[in-house]
Amino acid sequence: MTLIVILLILAGIALLVVEVIFIPGTTIIGIIGLILTVAGVGFSYWAFGSTVGFYTLISTAACLGLFLYFSFRSGAWNKFANNNTISSKFNEGFNESFSVGEEGVTISVLRPMGKAEFNSRIVEVNSLDGFIESGARIRIKEVSQAGITVEAVS
């Protein structure tokens, strides 16, 4: 019975550490680890009595706390971390090829976002007027990194 308690607690602690350090946010691994740890401590209370169960509970909590503290503090997990940064931007410079006042036609309905065509180039645009039907003439009102804003041509 002692081996079962030890294995349950070790497996639970291992899964909790995996949840916290390697795959945070999944919660399934953490819940399984918590269940195994609680089951190990519960079996300790059931099989060996309240005194041994209490010592098992305290030592399990202390071991988990110390292991997490030293693993974060030592930087051992930095070997597994992806420290690369992305400095490029999506479609960088693409919107600058469009100019304010340029006219085009909508390909899809703008509600207020949709697709439009300017000089045989299809691009996603945002409408100032809200809803614009497909096939309507439009004019570029603003060009920014965030996108292209258009208005309907009367």
DSSP type of residue 146: T
* 47 and 6 in a common domain: yes
Could you tell me the residue range of the domain that residue 126 belongs to? 95-152
Domain annotation covers residue 86: no
Q: Give the model confidence (pLDDT) of 47-95 as tens digits.
A: 999 999 999 999 999 988 888 787 777 666 666 667 777 776 665 666 6
For residue 126, count other CB atoms closer than 10 A to its CB. 16
How many domains does one find in the chain? 2
For residue 21, count other CB atoms closer than 10 A to its CB. 15
* 69 and 118 in a common domain: no
Q: pTM for the whole thing?
A: 0.48
Can you tell me the distance from the alpha carbon of 63 to that of 52, in angstroms, rounded to the nearest whole number?
A: 16
Higher pLDDT, 17 or 74: 17
* 103 and 59 in a common domain: no
Amino acid letter at 103?
E
* 60 and 104 in a common domain: no
pLDDT band at 154 (very low <50, low <70, confident <90, very high): confident
Give the rounded percent of residues in the chain with a pLDDT score beyond 90: 51
pLDDT reported for residue 91: 59
